[in-house]
Amino acid sequence: MMLMEEKFDYSTEATKRVAVPADTYQQLSQFLYHEARLLDTRQWDAWLKLWTPDGMYWIPRSRDQQSPYDALSLCWDDDVLRRVRMRILDSPRRWSQQPRSYASRLIGNVTVDGTDSDGCLLVRSVIHMTEWRRETMFHRAGSCVHKLVADGDSWKIKLKRVDLIDCDGAYEAIELYM
Amino acid sequence: MPYSKEQIGALVRPDSVNKSIYTDPELFKLEMQRIYGRIWVYVGHDSQVPNVGDYHATMIGDQDVVMVRADDGKVHVLYNRCPHKGAMVVPEGNGCAGKFFRCPYHGWTFRLNGHHLAAPMKLGLEGTRFDPASPEFSMRELARVDSYRGFVFASQAADGIPLPEFLGGARSSLDNFCDRAPEGEVVASKNVFRVIQRANWKVFYENLNDTMHARVTHESAIQAARDEVKAEGLEQMPLRLHIMENNGQPYEFWEKLKLVAFDHGHSYMEGIFDPGSIKKDPISHAHYQTLIDAYGEKRALEILSENRHNTIIYGSGSPHTVFQQFRIIRPLSVDRTLIEIQVFRLKGAPEEVYRRALMYCNVINSPASAVMPDDLEVYFRCQMGNRTRGGEWVSQHRYAGTDKPIDGGLVAINGTSELPMRNQFNAWKQYMLAAA
């Protein structure tokens, strides 16, 4: 009996290595920087459009977490929850964003791992997000995997997995996507 | 300056408490002795230490302790201290000690029940007052350890009421929690959320049965869920939105909820999600079927009809029976608290029931959730506001003086009553005075 079908492929292991030309690599890097910039500048609508409709945003809670269905995740957000988060961040009644957060995301070490069994491109990077809110600086650092689907001359995000170095730590509120 | 009995007594009035209860570090120190140093406190679930040697390091009040499965198959709770130089024997978290504990400093070893096993180079200890049979040279066990349906509690006081009596009416919530499993047992998930709140621990307890805050504190999430349904033209609100939107029920809804308070500061509030969902919702229905197979239809219905939202076990935290979680509340200092959130599998229930509980926890309790950050913010504002000279008292007047006695506790005449808070501080006062 399967009531919640596990159709979504949340694996991030490349099954096939691919060699991407230099200009494609350049475009992929630009894609990740662009994504970070949209979040830094709170262009939520443009950021939401980077996703496939079934795309999932995942921040595991454990190191090497195998599945979002077996244990807790800090985020396991589908399109609905992504849009809701953006609505909440813009709400004048979001008390925990008074004062609001300011963040800067630094992306680096971009590497192309290959493709998965569906032909999606797996791009790995590291992220360092610094967030400022009410006299406190928060640092979020870790590695990212973007699972990308070709879309015209660009891509759409099918899965973004962020493995924080302190994923099993104790947190105050995490309000912003990384 | 030490507090006299009179001074402590004067901090709690029948309908309000003095703000220093949340802000004075001296009172926090006394709480660590007189409350957390004495009462039964939840340590962890026995499924966290399934095999001999497995341990879980945690805290009871200001004390580092380790819960361990010993060779006798029983769960023991020891202070995390080597009797030689005082080093913590286990660094943190979960692991397996193997056949015995070994201190990383000088290699003293202890049986899993804490008893002294060996110290290297015994010769140098001969002719001294060192005595391996003396408790002074063993890892000390907490005075009392007991469990209720797999939930392990410990007390640092040798005397006092037994655990079942302490839990009193709150036992019914732990019973229902486990009865919801067709096999009558629950198993803790592999990981937990840990959330830091920059506020006194008591604020979290008060909030758990505070039905007046939901529609105000969580307005942004309520509105976002409603806007999303409208914007996307959804015919039905999906469960992941419903659980945040439901906080926006009108006051009349909250007024009708049952609030039951028990001795020792415990209480529970009636469930806020539709108990009739066993007919409509496929996951609830599948769960119901497994319960019918296990207990028969009458009992299965009885179990699922016991619809409760947050239960409070004062000093330990809050089990949630319907979404299978235990929120452990661990005070760190007068203005800092750690909330640890465990989710449980119901043995024998469909896996989807567990997945639904994970989803609930992700959406409501994650530090990255739609709901939890606003709670943290208002707790912080209480902590800051109560540091000002803007007033001395914190109000708990709602429906004060109208509570009706029941066996072992009180019941509110209105679901928005602040009875649970008054009940907590009544217990707080008793604890703080009894040990003075």
Residue B354: CA count within 13 A, CB half-sphere? 22
Q: How many angstroms away from the CA of B423 is the closest CA of chain A? A: 29
What is the rounded CA–CA span in Å between residue B189 and residue B343? 5
B428 and chain A in contact, CB less than 8 A: no
Residue B276, pLDDT score: 64
What is the rounded CA–CA span in Å between residue B379 and residue B375? 6
Predicted structure pTM score: 0.96
Residue A34, pLDDT score: 98
Residue A7, pLDDT score: 77
Helix (H) or strand (E) holding B118: strand B116-118
Tokens matching residue B32: 């660590």
What is the rounded CA–CA span in Å between residue A35 and residue A57? 13
Residue B2, pLDDT score: 83
**Contact map slice: B 9-68 vs A, CB within 8 A:** none
Residue B57: CA count within 13 A, CB half-sphere? 15
Work out the mean pLDDT of chain B and round it to a whole number: 96
Residue A3, pLDDT score: 54
User: Could you tell me which chain B residue has the CA closest to the CA of A178?
Assistant: B368
Query: Would you say A164 and A17 are in contact if contact means Cβ atoms under 8 Å apart?
Result: no
Residue B310: CA count within 13 A, CB half-sphere? 21
What is the rounded CA–CA span in Å between residue B235 and residue B270? 28
What is the rounded CA–CA span in Å between residue A51 and residue A49? 5
Q: How confident is the model at residue B436 (pLDDT cuts 50, 70, 90)?
A: low
Is there a cis peptide before residue B405, judged by omega within 30 degrees of 0? no
Tokens matching residue A12: 């991030």
Contact call for B361 and A95, based on CB within 8 A: no
What is the rounded CA–CA span in Å between residue B169 and residue B266? 8
Contact call for A72 and B361, based on CB within 8 A: yes
Query: For B176-202, what is each residue's pLDDT tens digit?
Result: 999 999 999 999 999 999 999 999 999
B240 and chain A in contact, CB less than 8 A: yes
ipTM associated with this complex:
0.95
What is the rounded CA–CA span in Å between residue B245 and residue B357? 17
**Contact map slice: B 204-223 vs A, CB within 8 A:** 217, 219-221, 223
Q: How many angstroms away from the CA of B43 is the closest CA of chain A? A: 18
Residue B279, pLDDT score: 78
Tens of pLDDT along chain A (178 residues) come to 445 556 799 999 999 999 999 999 999 999 999 999 999 999 999 999 999 999 999 999 999 999 999 999 999 999 999 999 999 999 999 999 999 999 999 999 999 999 999 999 999 999 999 999 999 999 999 999 999 999 999 999 999 999 999 999 999 999 999 9
